[in-house]
Amino acid sequence: MTPRLILASLSPRRSDVLAQLGLDHLVMPADVDESYLDGETPAEHVQRLARAKATVISEREPGALVIGGDTVVLDGTRVLGKPEHDRAAVEVLISLAGREHVVLSGIALAGPHGVASSVSETAVRFRAFSEDAARAYVATGEPLDKAGAYGIQGMGAALVEGIDGDYYSVMGFPMDAFVNVLREAGWRYDFGSLTPTT
């Protein structure tokens, strides 16, 4: 029997991926401080936050399996968060045009087993495009709630020339990492359900 599954995130994209997998789930966003710790690398940051979000909800919902996630977009060493306004979104997009950047996605699964977590790294190459194209995309409103100012699963797909890694990681839900943390926690994904392996 599939256990009660909770997504500790308001991200519609993460929820969509779970629905695509045929996994019924509840959405209970976790309120955690997302500030960087001194000396923390981006990879350490996304893993720590994914674990923290999953743990906060797991402590309130004993017996459930709780998924936490966090994603950052990196241009070299520069962390690209969600743009504060249209102008910032255009500037970010232009800075990435014709170049490669990296998306780091952390995922964690908390429950009776404790917490299992992993980080996925995916390189994304943008095609060359003009400032007018960036402005037209920003005018759709899609980039404003997304790290790196684009959504690969939406209209932003037209900006992408190619990726090296997990497409779902760029959406914020690294599929390979999810299957691995399930296994580490004693579960197997059985195409629409979860089955204990122990």
Token pair 């684009």 is found at 150
70 is a catalytic site residue: yes
- Domains in the chain: how many in total? 1
- Please, what sign has the CA dihedral across residues 36, 40, 44, 48? negative
Q: How many CA atoms lie within 13 A of 155 on its CB side?
A: 12
Average pLDDT of each block of 10 consecutive residues along the chain (198 residues)?
89 95 97 94 97 98 96 95 95 98 98 97 98 98 94 96 97 96 96 92
For residue 116, the enclosing domain spans 5-196
> What CATH number should be reported for the domain holding residue 25?
3.90.950.10
**84 contact partners, CB below 8 Å, separation of at least 6:** none
| pTM for this prediction | 0.94
Looking at residue 1, its pLDDT comes to: 65
Q: Name the catalytic one among 24, 33, 38, 70.
A: 70
**DSSP structural state of residue 144:** G
**190 contact partners, CB below 8 Å, separation of at least 6:** none
